[in-house]
Amino acid sequence: MEKNTDLIFAALFKLEEARQVIRDGLPSGLNQQEEMQLKEKISELKGIIQALETGTTGKKPGRIAGSIEVRTREEENINIQPIQAAGRLTLAARQAIIAYGDGYSTCDACRKPFRLDKISKPPIADFHTQLAQFVNMDQARVVPGARRGFQAVAQTVVEKGDSVIVSAFAHYTEFLAVEGAGGVVKEVPLNKDNIITADATAEKIEQVKLETGKLPTLVMIDHYDYQLANEHDVKGIAKVAHSYDIPFLYNGAYTVGVMPVDGKAVGADFVVGSGHKSMASPAPSGVLATTSEWADKVFRTTQMVGDVTKRKFGIKEVEMVGCTLMGSNLIAMMASFPEVKERTLHWDDEIKKINFFVDRLLTIDGSKVLSEYPRKHALTKVDTTGSFDRIAAIHKRRGFFLSDALSAKGIVGEFAGATRTWKLSTYGLSWEKVRYLADTFTEIAEHYELPITKQ
């Protein structure tokens, strides 16, 4: 039986049509007309399955709601897009969103004290406990994206005009979180190896103190940054921050969910992770975990009292704006979680895969790796100015020749048109796919007669 993505989607969509017939019916059962409709849907489904079995070319399912193309990127291709790799859903997560897509689907059994993280059916409360344990912190909340975690922390510890220490490789959402809270970012410069060190952080703190007369109120550093995915000395940096009595936020957008993270061992006051970036979850989703000490502050409950009605909503947390992910995003996070926990234990294999790929790329003369090497992360920035860009310089499609050649082999996710510096991730690809990926680059190089050094 051959692979036929279109028909798989056609079958899924047809089943949703059948489901709609059931939804439209009374609880007491379908009427005659509905039974006929259901029968028709199932008969059409059987036709689709027959086409699958006989290898008939599938009619593409029409656009969703008339305007949205069906996305088959993960079915039809090897996707090396650097930020999409670890946010790909697991099978369980895909089943979860089918079952829990409706708006407030998590809230069927919401009882006193009426807060998302207290719901026990589905087991949301238990998931929150596990999530805190997973990053070895005392308490955790789900948030709509890592950025909302940065925001909550910044608004808790940053007053107008305060300085916040970030990395020279800080993600833009850290800038925005600080700006939103009225603070100012102060970047720690990179060393010659493009690493943020504890010493450089200490120096920066001293400099800020000298220039502004005040210590920064937060140090927020990415364990692995988004540009090169180099590892930065978060443990040393946390120690430095604490020596000035400044809280440390560990940005685990590229670590929580792909490799083991131990917040206490790092010395983090806050651990932030991204569901859609690294936890095989739909966007927006993420986690903010903290210590018992800081939980009272960042998860502080509302103190506001209605002046007329005297209403209070005491259990609701100000920085969370109450409940956070009240639907399928949370359930998908939960559904992916067992697999996500397991996969962090096999990070070493992911490192082998990226190094295998990079080593193969480096055999194409003139290719370089800009990230630290050997790689310690699946996300990697390479420089092919000395190899593929030489072809781009003379090719009528310019840099797009490479995208064309890759996509002809079913590889997508590189920055289309870029042949100088660009990023990729091999995260989650099977060894078979990694070899295919490396072979494809070699084949393209050979096709264009780029010199290759035998390994």
Annotation: binding site: 146-147, 251, 274-276
Mark the segment that binds a second copy (CB under 8 A) among 242-250, 263-271, 281-289, 374-382: 281-289
Task: Return the bridge partners of 224, or none.
Answer: 231
Position 1 contacts a second copy (CB under 8 A): yes
Position 28 contacts a second copy (CB under 8 A): yes
Residue 131 and residue 138: Cα distance in Å, rounded? Answer: 10
Q: Report the chain's C-alpha Rg in angstroms.
A: 25
- Our CB check for a second copy shows the closer of 263 and 286 to be 286
Position 337 contacts a second copy (CB under 8 A): yes
- Our CB check for a second copy shows the closer of 263 and 275 to be 275
Position 67 contacts a second copy (CB under 8 A): yes
Position 325 contacts a second copy (CB under 8 A): yes
Position 334 contacts a second copy (CB under 8 A): yes
Min dist CB 331 to a second copy, Å, is 6
Count of C-beta atoms within a 10 Å radius of residue 11: 21
Kindly identify the residues of this chain, within the stretch 77-96, that bind a second copy according to CB under 8 A.
77-78, 81, 83-84, 86-89, 91-96
Among 189, 191, 243, 374, binds a second copy (CB under 8 A): 189
Min dist CB 443 to a second copy, Å, is 12
Kindly identify the residues of this chain, within the stretch 225-264, that bind a second copy according to CB under 8 A.
none
- Our CB check for a second copy shows the closer of 168 and 351 to be 168
- Given a contact cutoff of 8 angstroms between Cβ atoms, the answer to whether 113 and 125 are in contact is no
Residue 451 and residue 454: Cα distance in Å, rounded? Answer: 10
Burial bucket for residue 265 (CB in 10 Å: 0-12, 13-18, 19+): exposed
Task: Return the bridge partners of 270, or none.
Answer: 249, 290
Position 436 contacts a second copy (CB under 8 A): yes
Count of C-beta atoms within a 10 Å radius of residue 1: 7
- Our CB check for a second copy shows the closer of 92 and 215 to be 92
Position 49 contacts a second copy (CB under 8 A): yes
How wide is the angle at C-alpha 417 spanned by C-alphas 412 and 423, nearest 5°? 60
Size of the site for a second copy (CB under 8 A): 144
- Given a contact cutoff of 8 angstroms between Cβ atoms, the answer to whether 405 and 444 are in contact is yes
Cα-to-chain-centroid distance, residue 157: 25
Strands 270-274 and 286-290: antiparallel
- Our CB check for a second copy shows the closer of 15 and 195 to be 15
Encode 342-352: b = buried (16+ Cβ within 10 Å), e = exposed. ebbeebeebbb
Position 284 contacts a second copy (CB under 8 A): yes
Min dist CB 453 to a second copy, Å, is 27
Position 108 contacts a second copy (CB under 8 A): yes
Please choose, from the candidates 422, 438, 442, the residue with its C-alpha nearest in 3D space to the C-alpha of residue 430. Answer: 438
Position 304 contacts a second copy (CB under 8 A): yes
Burial bucket for residue 337 (CB in 10 Å: 0-12, 13-18, 19+): buried
Kindly identify the residues of this chain, within the stretch 148-187, that bind a second copy according to CB under 8 A.
148, 150-151, 155, 168, 170, 172-173, 175-180, 184-187
Count of C-beta atoms within a 10 Å radius of residue 88: 18
Kindly identify the residues of this chain, within the stretch 342-371, that bind a second copy according to CB under 8 A.
none
C-alpha distances in angstroms, 337 versus 130, 257, 340, 403?
9, 8, 5, 34
Position 338 contacts a second copy (CB under 8 A): yes
Position 276 contacts a second copy (CB under 8 A): yes
Among 121, 214, 264, 346, binds a second copy (CB under 8 A): 121
- Given a contact cutoff of 8 angstroms between Cβ atoms, the answer to whether 329 and 281 are in contact is yes
Kindly identify the residues of this chain, within the stretch 393-432, that bind a second copy according to CB under 8 A.
409-412, 430, 432
Please choose, from the candidates 169, 223, 228, the residue with its C-alpha nearest in 3D space to the C-alpha of residue 373. Answer: 228
Which residues sit in the known binding site for pyridoxal 5'-phosphate?
Answer: 146-147, 251, 274-276
Residue 141, CB-side half-sphere exposure with 13 Å CA sphere:
31
- Our CB check for a second copy shows the closer of 215 and 362 to be 215
Mark the segment that binds a second copy (CB under 8 A) among 38-46, 239-247, 350-358, 366-374: 38-46
Two tokens, residue 245: 């009595």
Min dist CB 248 to a second copy, Å, is 19
Min dist CB 173 to a second copy, Å, is 5
Among 201, 251, 291, 329, binds a second copy (CB under 8 A): 329
Min dist CB 59 to a second copy, Å, is 16
Phi/psi-derived region of residue 413, left when phi > 0, alpha when psi is between -120 and 50, beta in every other case: left
Mark the segment that binds a second copy (CB under 8 A) among 33-41, 212-220, 237-245, 263-271: 33-41
Among 141, 232, 277, 377, binds a second copy (CB under 8 A): 277
